[in-house]
Amino acid sequence: MSSLPNELWSRILEIGIGKSGLSYKDLCCISISCRLLHRLSSDDSLWNHLLSSEFPLSPSPPSNSSSKSLYKFRFERDKERKIAAHKRVVLRKESQIAEHSRRLHDIQTRVSQEKIKAIQTSTELSHLLRVRQASVALNVWQPEVVRGRQKQMVEQCVVPAESRIRALEMELRLCKQQIMGLEKSHRDEKGRLDKAKEELVAMKYHPLREHEPESGRENEHNIKRKKLKSYNSLREKQCKTP
């Protein structure tokens, strides 16, 4: 290293920062390699270029502070901004998880209520079917004991059995349809809850990563899928042409 002049090393660092995309981490690693590179990597022109490229909207640096110290100040301030934004994103995601959990609990409660209603309807329907069988059996000869029991069952029924049976059968079908719809809603909501929990784990694992909204990721995925589909259709047309 001593065989090369300092101007050449400075030019190498300038090219690395300007064209090769060296970051502040690379520059810090270079600065601890030796005393010469430590002195050269602290040059204001290098850090000023990093300032203009990474913080272009920041105000111009004051004359009494070096570019390196100003970069450190703005870096720490940007880091605090990212941490605060991350906390807001995490709180928002936790509130979404709580909302999904609440909806799951409501759906489970409604499913339990519909199942209880279906059991009660089925029990009443079964009773009315026995009453109808008993009323039909009264028209044929039977022992007096059996006939009396069936007659008592028919007399205890205060509503017309046929109309009530049709109403109960319809109500039972509606209960089953409602249960199937609620179970599907439960599966969908459970999937959304699991996805939100996975996203929360990823957010906590990468606290300083810029997290995009879910809709933005879906739009990007749809665009990539459309491009891939058009590319495949173009390839098929090219293969078909002689």
Q: Is the pLDDT of residue 87 over 70?
A: yes
Residue 163 token pair? 């109309």
Distance separating alpha carbons of residues 205 and 190, to the nearest angstrom: 23
**Does the predicted model carry a pTM greater than 0.75?**
no
Q: Are 188 and 104 in contact (CB under 8 A)?
A: no
What pLDDT digit, counting tens, does each position of 35-53 carry? 888 888 888 888 888 888 7
The proportion of the chain whose per-residue pLDDT surpasses 90, expressed as a percent, equals 24
**55, 74 in Cβ contact below 8 A?**
yes
Query: Which one, of 149, 152, 151, 129, lies nearest residue 138 by Cα?
Result: 151
Instruction: Tell me the per-residue pLDDT of 129-145, one tens digit each, with 9 for 90 and over.
Output: 776 666 655 455 455 55
Q: Please, what's the b/e burial string for 120-135 (b: 16 or more CB within 10 A of its CB; e: otherwise)?
A: ebeeebeebeebbebb
pLDDT at 197: 92
Q: What is the pLDDT of residue 15?
A: 80
Q: Please answer whether residues 236 and 228 qualify as being in contact, where contact means their C-beta atoms are separated by less than 8 angstroms.
A: no
pLDDT score for 218: 46
pLDDT beyond 90 at 191: yes
**All structural domains of the chain with their residue ranges:** 8-58, 86-203
Name the residue among 206, 218, 219 with its Cα closest to residue 90: 206
Whether the per-residue pLDDT at 242 is higher than 60: the answer is no
Contact 193, 106 (CB under 8 A): no
